[in-house]
Structure 1
Amino acid sequence: MTDMALEALFKLIDEEGPLPAKLSPELLEGIKPGGSYKGFTALHLALFLGNLEAAARLHGAGASLEARNEKGQTPLLFLAERKEPSAEEGIAWLLQRGANANATMGSGANALHFAAQNAGFFPEHYVRIGRLLLDAGTRTEARTKAGRTPLHVAIPSHGVEFMRLLVERGADVNAQTETGVSPLHFVPVNYMRWRELDAERQGEEDLGLDADGIARRCIETLLELGARKDLKTSEGLTAYEFARQADMPEEIVQLLR
């Protein structure tokens, strides 16, 4: 059911950004608990805007904490990938009210997967979100259909502090996918993409992207956390052999020997 007030609010957001200047209490008051627009429920939107007062009103009127948007995300899953500071407050609010900390997408991804995928770009923010989720019992060993744990997913964004948090809270640093890929294997798997991004961003300031430095930090962190170098994929390849295939610098390859 399309909610006209919700539609009007989305149009404002499209025009002015996530915190539209014309946002009014009256507009928020007009949103119905069961309303939706573009696949988003009123509760998703109130939490996206960081308006916990509106979220509480909607929840009190019957809005479900487990409603899904068109991507299949509950409000918790939706907020877990947001980089806005208000996401932390929204996640805490949801968990305090009993939102399912282990809700998953059709892909198998849970809220820790969503937080992990951007953890290296906004480390302090996502570590705080990670702690909230872990304290609520979100599973560190949940797997996507590809067999990836949140620790695997933290590698592409090179979120080393998030990796530390996961392992400290029980994640298996040597978890392997169905094809035998461990988090350590996943570093050389992602190395070529980091190099491509590095080349694309040459000359741009303050991007902090250094493929070799990223790979070294990830490998050293995983080894410090207990990653095994001898694990093999289903094709019989170690992370060292993956690194050779990825044409990583010799000094980094030797870390995996």
Structure 2
Amino acid sequence: MTPLRELYDLYCYPNPAKEERRRQLLAEIPTDARDEDNYGRTSLHIAAEFADYEAIASLLDRGAEVNDRDEEGHTPLFRLASRRSRVPALEEPIASAARRLLERGANLPRSARGTTALIEAVQNRHHAMAAVLIDSGQRLDSANSYGDNALHILCRRAADTAREIAGKERFIASFGERWVSEKQQREAREELEELQAEQMHCYATAALLLHSGQIDPDEKNSAGRRAFDLAMEGGAKWVGALLSGEDPFDELTMETGGMNLFQALRKRDRKALEALLQAGVDPDAECDDREMNDWTGKTPLVCALEWGETEIAAMLLRAGADPDRRTAKGMSPFAVWIEQGCRISDGMERFAPLLDLFEQRGWHPDAPQTGKDERALMLACQHDDYELAIWALRRLLQRKVEVNARDAMGRTALMHLLGPHSAGPYQSEMLEQLLEAGADPCAADNEGRMVLHYAAEGYKHAAARQAAELLFEFGRPDVSAADNGGRTPIDIAMRSNNESLVKFLLKHV
């Protein structure tokens, strides 16, 4: 065993009986000797790795090179920052050792390849050491191979701490529901206090980094994320409040972490959303954040519905969100409601109750709901496969909506119900209810296509014939009427090889 390997083992496995031997090795090993079996590290690397201030000072006095690199490109300062320990009592010795290395010329920006001792110190939650490094006057804005600077890393650690706090609080809250030993309860509360203290340390270190003026809080890492984004997404509200540009000591800012309504919605943070709405934030504001390009030009209500967050949608409606407010592309909340509600198996259970809130907020179903001027009844007819759609249709007909309203192409609700798509299980019932409510079976669109043209296009031959029969129960559509392309319903039925429908239509020539 080489002397350096013996020294390393004595640090790893402390033994009071061998303390004298450790001191002897530190005094005798040449300062430039390297342990080839341990990444070519010197005795100064080893002393720094174990935060041995006395040994560091002694080795430096003997002429040890403070910026010597091991085979991994690490200097003693970086090895010190790499120490993984969350024992509060060790933080000050680590900081003192860092101060001594800096005093003897340790280079912070070049302390490692692809990262720095500051980034590593923050990563390992050595806040006292980070404070010493920040105060060193050296460059602080270096980034690692992922484009993360010290502030990015700090926000990741703060987010980790926030998650740990939330988990610990849930565990403590469960004490009343299940048996937990007094020892476990005491330990859990002590751990929570430590985490809360760590939360404060993260805030303080973030403040120091910002106060240094060297790190741009809006700088993005390789994934395009700012430090604030990382804090916000991870629930680190204290640090988020500091980075938001708002007053970090404002009660609302602290409660929301500096998030705006869309940021809180994206994180699904209901407490922050509730605080913002109670503070009077406009629930109908449009998103203009370029980082949220999928939400640009949309209202919070539309965004919540797109993500299937029905409870948040209800919260927004109760706070005064306008159910008639359309997006920049003309999409209304109802259009998103029917689309998303018909996509999931529990759409009736989750989405149906929102229609009550729509109506309470004065929703106008006869107003255009899309950029094509489609009305609510038309949108319901487009989803004849789903229970939510027929339930909505019944609800709309009870409100006496205009059953013969037309969209930008002159189409009525009947035309939206029928057509080349496969007939859903509710199509026949929806068709009958529309006709009973006064829907015109002889209406034609802007291209001269009558309701009968749409019925003849039916994907299922039997359903197309049944639809045509029902239309004739409520009117006398002209089977010989040609659209702008010169095609009659009979022509369309023949092209679809729907022999049964052709025979039926020929009886009404």
- TM-score with structure 1 length normalisation? 0.69
Any idea what SS the aligned residue of 2:123 has?
Answer: coil
User: 1: distance between equivalents of 2:14 and 2:194?
Assistant: 26
More helix by share: 2
In 2: Cα distance, 1:71 partner to 1:197 partner: 34
Shift of 1:205: 6.1
Residue of structure 2 aligned with 1:124, choices 92, 103, 118: 92
Measured in 2, the distance between the counterparts of 1:125 and 1:143 equals: 20
Query: Does 2:208 align with 1:221?
Result: yes
Q: Do residues 110 (structure 1) and 75 (structure 2) align?
A: yes
The aligned counterpart of 2:257 is none
Structure 1 residues 205 and 81, CA, compared in 2 at 3 Å: closer, same or farther? same
Look up the equivalent residue of 2:156 and give its one-letter code.
Answer: V
Structure 1 residue ranges without an equivalent (≥5)? 29-45
- 1:11-26 equivalence runs, <5 A: 18-21=14-17, 23=18
156-165 or 234-243, which deviates more: 156-165
Separation in 2 of the partners of 1:214 and 1:70? Answer: 37
1: CA distance between counterparts of 2:218 and 2:191? 39
Given candidates 213, 226, 231, the residue that maps to 2:219 is 231
Alpha-carbon distance, 1:159 to partner: 2.8
- Residue of structure 1 aligned with 2:188, choices 194, 202, 220: 202
Taking only the aligned residue pairs, the percentage that are identical comes to 24
Write the distance in 2 (CA, Å) between the matches of 1:124 and 1:13: 19
Q: How does 1:38-53 map to 2 (within 5 A)?
A: 46=22, 51=23, 53=24
* Conservation of the 8 A alpha-carbon contact between 1:143 and 1:150: yes
Partner residue in 1 for 2:230? 242
Question: Secondary structure of the equivalent of 1:71?
Answer: coil
Residue 99 to residue 235, structure 1, CA distance change in 2 (3 Å): same
Q: Post-superposition shift, 1:128?
A: 1.8
The 3-state SS of whatever aligns with 1:202 is helix
- Aligned partner of 1:190 in structure 2 is 157
Q: Aligned-pair distance for 1:75?
A: 0.9
Q: Contact 2:231–2:240 at 8 Å: present in 1 too?
A: yes
With 218-227 and 202-211 compared, the bigger mean Cα shift is at: 202-211
- Matched letter for residue 160 of structure 1: H
- The aligned residue for residue 66 of structure 1 is 33
Name 2:43's counterpart in structure 1.
Answer: 75
Contact 1:180 1:234 in 2 (8 A): yes
1:183-231 superposed Cα distances (whole Å, 9 cap, x missing partner):
1111122234334665577234697332532332221221122232121
CA distance in 1, matches of 2:101, 2:216: 27
Q: Provide the residue aligned with 1:172 in structure 2.
A: 139
- Which one has more relative contact order, counting CA pairs under 8 Å at least 6 apart? 1
Separation in structure 2 between the aligned mates of residue 160 and residue 64 of structure 1, nearest angstrom:
29
Change (3 A) 1:240 1:76: same
Partner secondary structure for residue 209 of structure 1: helix
Task: Kindly tell me the number of residue pairs found equivalent between the two proteins.
Answer: 216
Distance 2:136 2:235 in 1: 33
Counterpart residue number, 1:152: 119
Give the C-alpha shift of residue 77 in structure 1. Answer: 0.8
1:136 corresponds to? 104
Query: Residue 203 of structure 1 aligns to a residue in which SS?
Result: helix
CA distance in 1, matches of 2:239, 2:25: 51
| Structure with bigger gyration radius | 2
CA contact (8 A) 2:31 2:64 kept: no
- Supply the distance in 2 between the matched residues of 1:243 and 1:13 (Cα, whole angstroms): 37
Q: CA deviation at 1:131?
A: 2.1
Q: CA offset at residue 80 of structure 1?
A: 0.5
Is the alpha carbon distance of 1:55 and 1:172 closer, same or farther for their aligned partners in structure 2, counting shifts above 3 Å? closer
Instruction: Give the equivalent residue in structure 2 for 1:96.
Output: 61
The 2-side partners of 1:137 and 1:13 are apart by 25
**For residues 138 and 205 of structure 1, do their structure 2 counterparts lie closer, same or farther at Cα, with a shift above 3 Å needed?**
same
Q: SS at the partner of 2:194?
A: coil
* SS at structure 2 position matched to 1:153: helix
Structure 2 runs not aligned, ≥5 long: 169-186, 245-509
Aligned amino acid, residue 69 of structure 2: T
Structure 1 residues 117, 194: CA separation in 2 closer, same or farther (over 3 Å shift)? farther
Aligned with 2:195: secondary structure?
Answer: coil
Contact 1:244–1:253 under 8 Å retained in 2: yes
Q: Give the deviation of 1:76 after TM superposition.
A: 0.6
* Letter of the 1:148 counterpart: T
String of CA shifts for 1:139-180, please: whole Å, max 9, x gaps. Answer: 1112534x2111111113333332232233233222222432
Give the TM-score normalised by the residue count of structure 2: 0.37
Q: Judge conservation of contact 2:34–2:43 (CA < 8 Å) in 1.
A: yes
| 2:75 partner amino acid | N
